[in-house]
Chain A
Amino acid sequence: MAMLFPFGFPWPTAMYLALFVVSMAIYTVFMQYVLAGSIVLLAGYVAALARGGAGTGPVRVIRSGSGLIQKVVCDWLPPVLGLAIATAIAPLLFVQVLYRREFYAASQLLFIRSLLLVLALTIAFLLLYLLRRPTSGGRGPLTQQLAALAASACLLFTAWAWTGIHVLGLHEAAWRYTYTSTRWIYSDAEVWPRLGYWITSSFPTLAVALAWQLRWGRCLHQPRDLDLASRRLKTLALLGLGTSFAEAWLWQLWLEPSARAVVLSAFALPYGLLAFAGMGIQAGCWLSIQSGSQLTTCRLTLISSGAALTILGVLVVREARRLAAIDVATLFEAHSRAAHAPGLSLFLVSLATSTALVAACILIVRRALRALQ
């Protein structure tokens, strides 16, 4: 691991690592929208409850910045969760090819947690659909608040469970103890800063995604609401960037020296710096935003590029930490065998075709919406 990621490995290993990181980055965008979105939605319901406005769920209070944000989030959470689940399949597949032993051992040892997280995702998906519907059918504001709380709890549980499975896979020394122990809960000090990072870093991603949504639908909203919403998004993004930066720093302090040496080596350090540069770009662009009219395409493209750099950089650092925990050389033969499995050309053709078809679906909808405006 003397060269920059993913170079320095045999081509099959480098290819699978690159595929895993890219597919994981696509999934991360949707996952972060859902994770932060559910917390924002819950916060909206709690704020409505604190105001004592029975019957005034956040979806109804749309004559404010927060209300507008919550309306859009509530409307989009179910399909985005669907997209998150769909895009999660590719990294889940490549992780089994890359780290078969580590991933299988961890998911075997934490089986109940693995199955519960599927159940939690199912419940969250159904609850988010329920929340999206208007408050007809006898569902009062309290029921909605409880549903938002349960959906957030399910999604946070999923995040915690995945982090636990990932971290256990890194600590082979803990497998024997976890296997013989009667304890159901696996906990490691590394779980919390990691989990904290993923939760807080979700807010800047949500903020930029919502900013795009508000920009595209600007003719549907009042300019005053857009101004207020853009200032709320700025606060959300800056808070998320600040806290996630602090947690990333904490996490690397927490690492054992051998793992930290790999993370801070030429293998991964440039990606870590790239992630911080991405955070800087995002913070710089958000700082000057005061009104909805400043959410221009150019500025949002710049913020999105910063977010993409951050996500990619962090994912590579995450892989560097994993590779530091295992003997990489033992994986090369298995990766080489896997790379020669049938179907690579079929996958490449279908990937190109499917990308074109997804673009076609988006263009069809965009054309129809433009015709209506």
Chain B
Amino acid sequence: MDSYFPIHAYSPFMKGIVGCGLEIVHALLTQMALGGGVLLFYFERLRRGGRSKYAGRFNTGSFPAVVSASFILGALTGVAIWFVSIQQSPGRIGSIVGGLHWIWATEWTFFCVEVVAGYAYLRYQDRLSGKDRLTLLALYSVASWLSLFLKSAIGSSPLTSTPVGQSQRLWSVFFHSSFWPSIFSRTIVALAIAGLGACMVIETFVPEDREARQALMGHASRFLAPMLLIPLLSIWFLASSPAVGSFAARWASPSTMICVGITAVASLVLGAVGLSAFWYGKLALNPLAMALLGVSAFLATAGCELLTKTIRRPDTLPQAWFSGSLCQLDRTKERL
């Protein structure tokens, strides 16, 4: 730890609201991009199989543009997170970049595939055959999930007790206990956000045809059903994260309880709507219900993101950085 930087002393507003706020928006956008790709793939299959006469109309509508905007805006908010992290603790983000930059670079290669496949589909879908459209959407979905997988590994690595990048073993980045609940819950939330986003697009752009609207919403809302698993995954995540203190001590923290409570209630509401879509096939959601579900999706995402923040400070790193500017070397010098 031989690098020193000019340090700015920011108020908790910077570490809390700005840092976490950006991460929540970033998570919403990137998960929308992933779930949107899977949803478009699902509708493309419905269209090819002749199982929905409205699926083609949905896929040629405004939803692909929403998905393409979300992956670029997601990348931009990711860069903003980088800049804010540099402000909070350059030593910490420098250590993470130094230790995990090959994984970050790997994530970037998949992101490039996601962008190219996404734009190729968006621009040329009316000139492509059904098989080509499916291929591009499959490529897009797989690449964006792999990108999320690697980002989750980078994001959850500072939660482990081993200093980042020092274990020298690649698989230790993935095969640690808090990684798996994190990636499962992010995937489920991604599908739910896309399902809800699709319902909003359908409500806005297909207002005149009630039957089409209900049929399309029935299909899109099914993506909300896995949200029922989120409360269990949150508990798994909390139990498996070894960063600070015992499981019981973490449960006793008011901030943790608030986050788990918000996530659980919001997820159960969304999951129940998804189940009803499976049950009835068609679904009609008015704008007010949609707004309430939108708030629930935001709260579920925010709860998941804040849960990770309750067990680690954004300017510290286990056994490496102890504040925005204090590293192991400084502590050793102080003791001497």
Q: Chain A residues in contact with chain B, CB under 8 A?
A: 79, 81-83, 85-90, 92-94, 96-97, 100-101, 104-105, 107-109, 111, 114-115, 118, 121-122, 125-126, 129, 175, 179, 333-334, 337-338, 340-344, 346-347, 350-351, 353-355, 357-358, 360-362, 364-365, 367-369, 372
Contact = CB atoms under 8 A, between A and B. Distances in A.
Interface stretch (B1-9, B48-56, B248-256): B1-9
Interface residues of B, number: 66
Contact of B76 (A83, A87, A122): A122
A338 to B, nearest CB: 5
Nearest to A358: B116
A358 B112 contact: yes
Q: Which 3 A-B pairs have the closest CB atoms?
A: A343-B102, A354-B109, A342-B170
Contacts of B79: 85, 88-89, 92, 118
Contacts of B184: none
A93 B80 contact: no
Interface in B63-121: 65, 68-69, 71-73, 75-80, 82-84, 86-87, 90, 93-94, 97-106, 108-113, 115-117, 119-120
Contacts of B123: 79, 365
A232 B97 CA distance: 45
Contact of A115 (B65, B80, B116, B168): B80
Contacts of A179: 6
A107 B83 contact: yes
B113 A354 contact: yes
A24 B80 CA distance: 19
Contacts of B292: none
A125 B73 contact: yes
B132 A90 contact: no
Interface of B: 2-8, 65, 68-69, 71-73, 75-80, 82-84, 86-87, 90, 93-94, 97-106, 108-113, 115-117, 119-120, 122-124, 127-129, 132, 135-136, 139, 143, 165, 167-170, 172-173
B106 A350 contact: yes
A259 B15 CA distance: 39
A235 to B, nearest CB: 29
A100 to B, nearest CB: 5
Given A118-B83, A337-B98, A89 B5 contact: no
Contact of B98 (A90, A115, A334, A362): A334
Contacts of B117: 357, 361
Which applies to chain A's interface (DSSP): helix, strand, loop or mixed?
helix
A372 B126 CA distance: 11
B75 A365 contact: no
Given A82-B71, A96-B93, 10 more contacts: A89-B108, A93-B97, A104-B5, A111-B8, A115-B83, A340-B168, A342-B167, A350-B110, A361-B136, A364-B128
Contacts of A364: 120, 128, 132, 135-136
Contact of A343 (B4, B68, B170): B170
Contacts of A129: 65, 69
A346 B115 contact: no
A361 B139 CA distance: 9
B119 A82 contact: yes
B104 A362 contact: no
A75 B237 CA distance: 45
A354 B3 CA distance: 34
B165 A341 contact: yes
Nearest to A97: B101
Contacts of B97: 93, 96-97, 100
A368 B132 contact: yes
Given A93-B104, A121-B76, A347-B106, A101 B165 contact: no
